[in-house]
């Protein structure tokens, strides 16, 4: 009789680093990030901030819901496919400017 196999362990959830929201806003305010693919944009943000994608992705989603970032997936006029942009809303830009 063989031993039962356990399912692979899931990684521990990553909590956002203190100040991650402000760092994302400052990055967006400095001109943001534009990529053809969403995962490439998320990787660039994560690399720029020294954070894992697993921490950055849910924080960006929360910031879009809170009205601090524009929806990053869009089709620019004349484009044939979607692009990923990290861009603050006016409220996000104001918050980024006031946070240093």
**Per-residue pLDDT tens over the stretch 14-67:** 545 668 999 999 999 988 789 989 999 999 999 999 999 999 999 999 999 999
Which residue ranges make up each domain of the chain? 20-98
67-96 mean pLDDT: 88
Confidence check: pLDDT of 85 > 80 = yes
Give the global pTM: 0.77
Torsion-angle region of residue 61: left (phi > 0), alpha (psi -120 to 50) or beta?
alpha
Q: How is residue 44 annotated by DSSP?
A: H
* Range 20-98 classified under CATH 3.40.50.12780: no
Helices assigned H by DSSP within the chain: 20-29, 38-49, 53-65, 90-98
Could you give the angle at which helices 53-65 and 20-29 cross, rounded to 10 degrees? 70
* pLDDT score of 10: 45
CA–CA distance, 46 with 54 (Å, rounded to integer)? 9
Confidence check: pLDDT of 2 > 70 = no
């Amino acid at each position: 009789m063989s031993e039962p196999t356990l399912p692979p362990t899931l990684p521990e959830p990553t909590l956002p680093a203190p100040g991650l929201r402000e760092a994302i806003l400052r990055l967006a305010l400095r001109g943001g990030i534009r990529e053809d693919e969403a995962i490439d944009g998320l990787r660039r943000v994560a690399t720029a901030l020294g954070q894992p994608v697993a921490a950055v992705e849910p924080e960006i989603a929360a910031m879009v819901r809170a009205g601090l970032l524009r929806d990053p997936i869009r089709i620019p006029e004349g484009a044939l496919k979607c692009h990923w942009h990290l861009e603050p809303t006016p409220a996000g830009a104001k918050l980024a400017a006031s946070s240093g």
